[in-house]
Amino acid sequence: MTLEELAQKLHCDPSQVSRYEHGERVPGIKTAQILDLLFGTSYYTEHNAVAANSRIPVRARPIAHYESGAAMIRSFSHGTVVGLLQSPSYVRALVRDGLMPQAIDEVSDERARRQEVLDGDPPAKLQAIMDETVIRRLTSHPEIARQQIKLILDRMEKWNVQVQLVHQSNFSYPGLQCSFTIYESRENGSLAAWHDGVGKAGRVIEDKAIIADLLESYDLIRSAAMSAAESRDVLKTIQESL
């Protein structure tokens, strides 16, 4: 089978197949399933998680681990769109202007793979809170803003995703100093957290006392945020202005 023939069956560009062949990209689980069906194997699905994990930067592997086993994910971000809701063009813009521009394809692929937890069986529930200014800043890049806001609104139509914005006029709510995510295990209900830092200073937290403080902070931030319905209206208003 030629690259072109396989690409046609996978509904992608031949160059993408070439990247799979040379180990430059890891197929997502759906592509892995199609490859197994085409070749009569179970190899691609059996090794998909291991292959994908090997492509994740070491410091980010704990995040992917906790996300993949989470029943509930509570995430707050004051500086960027919550990771599980980032559009491909938004991710690429962040990476291009960030610390690892050379890894733009790798990071974009990994972010898309991680977002599959929201479509799993069963899917993880996501409660995401963001500062309204995060969305407002996007308007200087209309095309990225359109794609990003559409993705958030589409996700909000799903039963397992709730998004709330903190009004841009609110300058004193808790959480302004950090972004964080709390993961609740599907297996046993245990909690773990990821606390963002500057550059590569982010860290995994498993200490129960610290997580309890983060949960309290999250509840305070949530109480300061607009309702999901109000947040949806704000997103639609910004979308219509682009």
Question: In the predicted model, is pLDDT for residue 173 greater than 90?
Answer: no
37 and 70 in one domain?
no
Q: Give the number of domains in the chain.
A: 2
Separation between Cα atoms, residue 44 and residue 41, nearest integer Å: 8
pTM confidence score: 0.73
Question: In the predicted model, is pLDDT for residue 56 greater than 60?
Answer: no
DSSP annotation of 202: -
Residues 6+ apart with CB under 8 A from 96: 104
201 and 163 in one domain?
yes
3-state SS, residue 183 = strand
125-131: strand order across its sheet? 161-166, 125-131, 70-77, 180-185, 191-195, 203-205
63 and 50 in one domain?
no
Write the pLDDT tens digit of every residue in 59-77.
556 677 788 889 999 999 9
- Residue 40 has, within 13 A of its CA and on its CB side, a CA count of 0
100 and 36 in one domain?
no
129 and 45 in one domain?
no
101 and 20 in one domain?
no
Structural domain including 36 reads: 1-55
140 and 47 in one domain?
no
Is the CB of residue 147 less than 8 Å from the CB of residue 90? yes
* Share above pLDDT 90 across residues of the chain, in percent, rounded to a whole number: 48
